[in-house]
Amino acid sequence: MNSFSRQDVLRILQISSRQLQGWERAGLISQREAYTFQDLGQLRTLRSLREEDVPAASIRHSIAAMQAVAGMSNPLQEASLVRTGTRLAFRCDGAMVDPIRRQLLFDFERVERQAMTAAVCAPRRMQGNLRGVQELFVAAVQAEESGEKQTAIALYEELLQVDPDYAPGYINLGTIHFHLRQFPRAEELYRQATEKDPGYVLAFFDLGNVLDELERPDESIAAYQRAVELAPRYADAHYNLALAFERKGESRAALRHWQAYLRLDKSGPWSEHARVQIRRLLDSEKLSISWRAVGYVAPGKAMADLQVLERPS
């Protein structure tokens, strides 16, 4: 069978017509009357993600980001969409990529069978020495996972000598120094990552974190805001922005980002804290409005009071 009708799809995948229509309205798949075998695979992936309560908006945004990063017309058919914790990533040509954060992830499931070549997902400038860079990257990550931090540092530094433009190397090396509380060095590495790849969302997010540790709130906020500009649905950046604005006493800005975070993460481990903060800020705002209202005097009464209080001549 080369094609499947809508009824065939509903029967094979055991989904309702309403579910399929909902995916079409959400822009996850185009509406059609006949489906190919590849379409079935795409729909099966969508069904699995929706069963795991992954929001349709998150799926759609990840697909759009992958199209931009890798130049794919249909990432659900040209790559494998997988869930990694609370995020979505794609496997393509041996690499695992988080397209929203533009981060190359370590794929433990496939590293034994295939080197992380990232031929589609990596920038063209990396193609010449890609294999050596990826081998060093894998070795560095493995050392890091094994707790051999000094070995990992040496491998990342060697990697950056081989390819000084490899932004993920700066990020991972910076993160090791961050956890060692060597914040000035971490800042230097994160800044280099933002310079090598100005569209690298994670670089700006991590830069915001280290600037926060260095107690430079204005610079930290600017870095987080850049991360949000690059990836408006980056929930963690909204969360950290809300915290940063609260510390500065800018309640309305904090409220805006708490609300943005909660729209993106309705049931995650930090969503309840966001709800508490929103309620607290709204309550304080009501008290502020109420306090201002006590001093308000209607125009008519104001004139009368002015006449009563007028000093006799």
Whether residue 56 lies inside any domain: the answer is no
pTM, to two decimals = 0.59
Whether residue 205 lies inside any domain: the answer is no
Whether residue 190 lies inside any domain: the answer is no
Whether 56 contacts 50, CB under 8 Å: yes
Give the rounded distance of the alpha carbon of 66 from its chain centre. 13
What are the backbone angles phi and psi of residue 3, rounded to the nearest 5°?
-145, 160
Whether residue 86 lies inside any domain: the answer is no
- The residue among 299 and 160 whose pLDDT is bigger is 160
Per-residue pLDDT tens digits for 27-81? 778 788 888 877 887 788 788 777 777 777 778 778 877 776 666 777 777 777 7
Taken in order 199, 202, 203, 204, is the CA torsion positive or negative?
Answer: positive
Whether residue 195 lies inside any domain: the answer is no
d(CA 92, CA 73): 14
Helix (H) or strand (E) run with residue 182 in it: none
Q: Write down the pLDDT at residue 25.
A: 80
Comparing C-alpha atoms, which of 190, 182, 221 is closest to residue 207?
190
d(CA 3, CA 279): 52
CATH number at residue 267: 1.25.40
Per-residue pLDDT tens digits for 221-242? 999 999 899 888 788 889 899 9
Q: Write down the pLDDT at residue 71.
A: 65
d(CA 99, CA 61): 9
Q: Is a pLDDT exceeding 50 seen at residue 310?
A: no
The residue segments making up the domain with residue 270 are 234-313
Whether residue 239 lies inside any domain: the answer is yes
Average pLDDT score over the chain: 76
Whether residue 10 lies inside any domain: the answer is yes
Whether residue 19 lies inside any domain: the answer is yes
The phi-psi region of residue 215 (left if phi > 0; otherwise alpha if psi is between -120 and 50; otherwise beta) is left
Q: Write down the pLDDT at residue 94.
A: 60
Per-residue pLDDT tens digits for 240-292? 999 999 999 899 999 999 999 888 777 666 788 888 989 988 887 664 544 34
* Poorest-pLDDT segment among 9-18, 35-44, 89-98, 149-158: 89-98
Tokens of 271: 């969503």
Work out how many domains the chain is built from and give that number: 2
Q: Write down the pLDDT at residue 65.
A: 77
